[in-house]
Chain A
Amino acid sequence: MSRRFAAMVLPLVLFGGGCSWLNAPERNLTPPGTGGDGIELFCDDMLDDDNDLAFDCDDTDCAQEPACCELRRTTLSEDWTAANLSNDWVFTPTGGGAWGPVRPSIDGATFVGGFLPDDSPRALLSKDCVSLGLGGWVSTTLRTTDATGCTPDAVCERYAGLVLTVADDAAVGGKLQDELAVTLHAGGLVLVTQADVEVARTTVGIDETIGVEIELRPKLNDDNLPILKAQVTVDSAPILEDFTVVAVSDLLSDGDCTEIPGLRVAAQGRGDGVYVGPLQTAKQDCANPSQFDEQSAILTGSSLELNPSWVSAYVGSPALASSRNSISDVQWDLMLEASNDPPELEPTTHIGYALGHARVATDEGSDWPLSGWTINESPKAGDDPPSCLDGSCSDNRSVREPHLLAELNEDGELRDLVLSFARELVSDPSERDVFGIQLVRPVGSPATSLTLPGTATLSPAQIPNCVSLRDPALIPVDPEAQEGYWLLFTCVDGAGAAMEIHAVRISRALEVVREGGGPMRRVVLVASELGPFAAAGIRSPEPLISFEKDGMRLRIWFLAQRAPGEWGVALAEARTHDTSALAFELPEPVPFLVNPIISSTSSLVRSGCFGEDCTITGIAVAPRADDPSRLRFVLARRLYLPGGDPTDQLIPLEQTWSKP
């Protein structure tokens, strides 16, 4: 969308480390059916969640969800005409001696068959894995030309078919281990098998080309673990539905499946007279929150030229906003927390933190530069140095975990930046590291320092059951934020990892909205309800809300840990047609099917890491002002270099949501 067109359409655009409006990079919401006042929240629960008489995938609300997506991107297309099939296919069993298939042309298409000698099964196994973990399709045609000695209702020693497998070979004399296989026997019997055990069957005619398609979709099982379900269609008729193929965690994740796990495909058969036609695989071409485009210009405290006096030991927990400046360049506002002492000392003693602010302008469509950011040598907020281990700065108070909400005018220029951050509240030394939340508007330029108000916007004393409030993030309750905001934050209820993310209503004037004698508060995410990926805690919500004419969509990225220390990035999403209720209630976010979208073992986290201790320290997200179909993320990680010294990086990533 051009900037001029956007300006015509949008009366006001809100961007943020959280917020966007009509030109936001959202999966396209299509108008709901009549009669509904909500949205089809769950697309595979066999319920009509929004009462519009359309269930699950029949509801256009679900069109872009993995459970319903019909958009296909081809990942493999084999017509069996290549002179040398061994470039792309492994002839299995590799230990069983050389063999070569025959490739007859039937009705204008090349088939593969003649799995000879016929003493045992043989297969052409794809060298590369095909991504299916977020859903996909595998299709081919089968044909038997000679039923001699075989009947339509019995297995035959001559057969051919399609196999999905994790195996890279077969045992001599044996079949490939089939996660799912569709096999046509010479007499016309079609068997669907798993581990060579029949799970469905049908019968087809002799000398007829039969279409076969396996459709795979991710779902959650009873333990909230992602699994792949299959529907098998033979000759246009479904013969197997809702069949559990494999746990997503058991899929291959190397080679072509590094980003999206998958399986190998194979044409397998025994003997002659039964053939496999052209073979195609496709992955879902809808949303793919776990796929990122890595960008250059990884930032550090040094590259930003921040003064080592307050950033020498740690930089992390970024916040990001994107806007247009007065000459229509793209302006990036980046905030972060930093310290001159390492956070690893926190279990030992108090460590102080301060906030920094950097800004840069780039040409439309360009990446941001490694250097040349406008900064102030001193912290935006907090002390310099923020931390001292010798007791010389015992009156310093930490400020941490910034979040930026950009409020834009109709040209996409900054009207205001709203900054939220955690603020240490100490009235007694024993209360060190107890935080409340501060909201500030305006933020000003990087050169502008902030003076903290006398009291925090929100303190733990106002929030029962939370001993400390961390990781704040704002979202507006309407497109222009006239009615104010929801303030999301991590509720720390003890010494261990936090288990809940809460939200409190904030007025346009940045004051806490009260309800029944206390802040108007809602529980947004609870770790125990999300699944094993969050079993050991959640924190750092990074919300992004978009308003459309027919509803709103709220996505919340957050950090989740499966086990202590194993932090990954997860995603949950909430949608509703009834945006008027947003001032009073937050819709329930539903976790993405395949969480975490970035695990602690991801190459994004582990690349260049020495030892075991590279960790994610924060994530920020904002839509690009020059291309709202793309989201820019900043992933903060702390990695240990040879010698054990830690360093911190801010890694830019991008993701397209309108057509990932």
Chain B
Amino acid sequence: MEQALNRNRRCDRWKWLTIAAALAVVSFGCGETGSAGSSPAIDSGTGGSAGSAGTGGDSGVNGAGGAEGPNYTDALGENPELFADPLRNPGDFPGMSTDATEGAQAYAEAALACYEAPNACTGPECGAFASCCVKTGACCAPVIDNAALPEALDFRGCGLLELLACAEASSVMTTTFGELEPVLNARGLVPNGTANAEGGALIGEPVNLSSQRVALDVQFALPVGCGGTCLESAGVAFTATAPGAFVDAEVGLLLSGSRELVNVMIGNEVADTFFAGPGSTEWRLVLSPDGSAQLFRDGALQGQYAFDAAALTQAQLVAFGRNLSATANSAAIASIEVQVADCDNPRAWRERQPVSVSIGVGDAARHSFGSGPSIVDLGQTKQVAYELDGALYVGELVTPGEVFVAVPAPVLVPSAPDEATGLEDPELVFDGSNVFLFYTARDASGAGSIRAAVSDLSVAAFTRTGAPGLIPAGDIVSYEAPTVAYRAGLWLLVVRATYSGGATELQALYTSNLDDGWAPVVNGGLEQLTRVQSATAEITEPSLMIHNSAYQLYYARRNGTRWSVELLVSDELVLWRPMGDVLGGSDEAYDGLGARSPDVISGPDRIDIVYSGQDGVAFRLGTASRTAPSDTAPSIF
């Protein structure tokens, strides 16, 4: 769950109508089968009656597209503006801001291209979509303070200083290695390795290439009089291991003096080579968290290569090479410039750890295996809810690995007929004033409906709201696993719906007033992307979050016995881009086989997640976090 995003929201439904007109010409042409034509019924309180298929709800919004599948033209026209960032306005689309119609047309055309595939964000028109900030290496936030690496190291300017003195002068820590000390001269840093072992220096502190983009600018000094046979090399690379006889250049550049080539090194092997050119040649290697390395030579792109960014969470910059005798003619590294930026790579979770629940009951250990966790940030505290034995508990996340339940009792237990078989899937939401607890209520037949309770900030006692919930109707026989986001007066709900034929799908709904019930997002792409018929490949437990002006919808997917967390992203809750697996089994014991039940919260430049880790025996609560810039999405749309 998700905290409030308080911004002034403009009501721009008319702009959507303009877009709809544009899209009437530009058809998305997607989809075969979408929602089966059912709309949720709005319950007027516990025990209310179900609505009828396709007509449920009183918000005036039509049901989904039925058997012929979603029509995205209608989708953008028939839904209110649901941008994750309410300040966004499709009429302001870049280059078209003076004319709303043209802006909408541009938006529609761009959306066609930018939502076409998971990797469709590379097009220039996609830069305006906030969802394109996710997993693309775009919208990164430069690391300025306490940067692990120096912005610039011009070794030529160090005169006769020792390397460490030169580094200190640049406020950079270095550690030298090799049989001989690297030396500095007018050409730069001579690594001074031998035929048997490389020499050089570690520079700065490790960076996380799985979540950080690094632009590395290097100038080499070519050896003089090499004659095609000398042993003269100089390189700059990131390595994951301490240098031994050879540096494992996981990704970097290596100048070969005898060949007069600059090698692109990937995985310690030569991936490509280029003529070294004169010493003034500027080489730039841009490493993105998505695992792409782009090489530029004097500003011109030379090639793009794949490297294992996920494995380089502690990547150490190293200057290395060999010079049979360090002389004024040796190969050298003249200068290095580094720019580091934090990016949103949804696979780059760190600090994964199991959660222990402290609660004053006799079988406290069981609580660490509670299911369906939810997390909410209340400012002073973070609270976690979970389900155990059909009842819902809430405790404070006092550290990333510990939940403390002050009152050793459930905050909510089954009490109504439609809760006969228990409560599940707690979802905590903070609207700036109160804490809401949405959940699945199971009746005697096992059918689920969505209910809510509310508490003050103490979260000590929750009271059922009495507001209309969401109960199955028509072809839909069950709703479960709610996730709710609140922003600027608008409540957004994603829930799993189960059809009478056994198929399931995730559906998005919204309301500006919980007492008015929920209205479905019509003809969106979510249903089609998440519709599953096979019981052994289910999709469930969504978690919706607004981060950096985009929706991020996490959910659990089962493949046989293994669970993993996948991600969809969207700008306006209608069109979705699948980003694939983002959290699965790890090397840790408690989640070695998989992960499910994700729930995420957005924080300043970070995302926290609680989930259930799978070890083959049980599912245990776990947490993790990742760096993710929260205010770098393009400001003009």
Contact = CB atoms under 8 A, between A and B. Distances in A.
Contacts of A245: 560
A137 B594 CA distance: 27
Interface stretch (B30-38, B92-100, B243-251): B243-251
A432 B228 contact: yes
Contact of B617 (A167, A341, A389, A495): A167
A637 B256 CA distance: 26
B558 A349 contact: no
B258 A348 contact: yes
Nearest to A165: B616
A178 B231 contact: no
A392 to B, nearest CB: 8
Nearest to A228: B560
A158 to B, nearest CB: 22
Contacts of A644: 197, 244-246
Contacts of B272: 494-496
B95 to A, nearest CB: 39
Contacts of A198: 535
B241 A612 contact: yes
B214 interface: no
Interface string A496-519: 110000000000000000000000
A198 B536 CA distance: 9
A238 interface: no
Contacts of A640: 244-245
Interface in B213-270: 227-233, 241, 244-246, 248, 254, 256-260, 263-270
Contacts of B256: 347-349
Interface in B589-637: 593, 616-618
B318 to A, nearest CB: 15
A429 interface: yes
A389 B560 contact: no
A567 to B, nearest CB: 10
A345 B256 CA distance: 10
Contacts of B246: 344, 613, 644
A391 interface: yes
Contact of B195 (A250, A341, A391, A432): A341
Contact of A171 (B266, B369, B560, B593): B369
Interface in A593-650: 611-613, 640, 644-646
Contact of B535 (A168, A177, A197, A566): A197
Contacts of B271: 495-497, 564
A196 to B, nearest CB: 9
Contacts of B260: 430
Given A348-B233, A563-B308, A166 B593 contact: yes
Contacts of A612: 241, 248
A194 interface: yes
Nearest to B258: A349
Contacts of B496: none
Interface in A478-502: 494-497
Contacts of B308: 563
B195 A345 contact: yes
Given A174-B618, A348-B233, A389-B231, A197 B268 contact: no
Contacts of A390: 229, 324
A66 to B, nearest CB: 20
A349 B270 contact: no
A347 B233 contact: yes
A565 interface: yes
B266 A432 contact: no
Interface in B551-577: 558, 560-562
A388 B195 CA distance: 11
Nearest to A178: B561
Contacts of B267: 536, 563-566
A244 B321 CA distance: 50
Contact of B270 (A341, A389, A495): A495
B248 A613 contact: yes
A349 B257 CA distance: 7
Nearest to A613: B248
Given A389-B324, A391-B227, A179 B560 contact: yes
A167 B616 contact: yes
B229 A195 contact: no
A466 interface: no
22 contacts: A171-B617, A197-B535, A344-B245, A346-B270, A347-B254, A348-B321, A349-B232, A349-B257, A349-B259, A350-B228, A389-B195, A389-B231, A390-B229, A390-B324, A391-B227, A391-B228, A430-B228, A430-B259, A495-B270, A495-B271, A496-B271, A496-B272
Given A345-B231, A349-B233, A394-B227, 15 more contacts: A166-B616, A178-B561, A194-B560, A250-B593, A347-B254, A347-B265, A348-B258, A349-B230, A349-B257, A350-B258, A390-B229, A432-B228, A494-B272, A496-B271, A497-B269
Ranked nearest first, the 6 interchain pairs of A and B with the lowest CB-CB distance are A564-B267, A391-B229, A429-B228, A348-B233, A167-B616, A495-B273
